[in-house]
A = this chain, B = another copy of it.
């Protein structure tokens, strides 16, 4: 049960509602986000909705049968749009292209990627400054200094930044230099990180776990939302299966299924989804026809020299071509 509260509800009225919820065997959780105040009722009991509906201070009540609630389309049928400022939006009517290198490597690299994005009218740049690596001896990224350098150039060029946050302490550290946090596939169920991201007023893109279910991804988003941050995006990036011919198995089924279950924007990551450079384009275009609200992919001037993920990174010429085809495919989809 989701109860939308009046903005100026009195504490007394609020208490009356939570008492009533408890008496109906629903556990109340108060959620205050940037956009509204809610009481979430967890429970399964039957009751007459009018017992609650007429109480003072209530704007609206929604019965949600899913166990995740705030991210469900059962109470919010209209799709959410995430506004990054300066006219940059991501959502069902605002398809987003996000591109950039796996790792931020140098000022020269930053400048070249930004030039490439500007030439293609792409407004959001991806890149890692803290890299999760299986081996402790691998390159772990340039860290906060790399981010500051990147931010300086991106801001000047009017480009928004999305980068991965790996731990709680990085949330504040990064805050002034990014436009969107990314939660990586290894941290999708790092619940403390999700809790803390609920307290921040910047958008968060959550990647599906390496072997995460669609339901778990929705629960992870519920963590952030119920912590107070409504501005969320979900990302399909391939799952782990027995198949060895590709890096991951891109689960495009997840896109229409997620679009049915949640009002949040759904982004596709074909670079990780297939992991083979010359097959990134068909999977990208397929993601669009499957219904994605945006794509995030890896590009680099010379993929062969990238510090990481070069085997799945497009060069600028490949990226130019693909972006043009993305837009034509999107146009077709919108004509349906």
Contacts and interface: CB of A to CB of B under 8 A. Distances in A.
A65 interface: no
B215 A245 contact: yes
Given A167-B168, A222-B136, A249-B249, A211 B240 contact: yes
A245 to B, nearest CB: 5
A256 B241 contact: no
Interface residues of A, number: 75
A14 to B, nearest CB: 18
Nearest to A223: B136
A64 to B, nearest CB: 12
This chain's copy number in the assembly: 4
A190 B190 contact: yes
A253 interface: yes
B214 A243 contact: yes
Contacts of A243: 213-214, 239, 251, 253-254
A105 to B, nearest CB: 17
A290 interface: yes
Given A133-B191, A190-B187, A286 B290 contact: yes
Contacts of A255: 282
Interface of A: 27, 29, 40, 42, 67-68, 132-137, 166-169, 186-187, 189-193, 195, 209-211, 213-216, 219, 222-223, 226-227, 238-246, 249-257, 260, 273-274, 276, 278-279, 282-283, 285-291, 325, 328-329, 332, 335-336
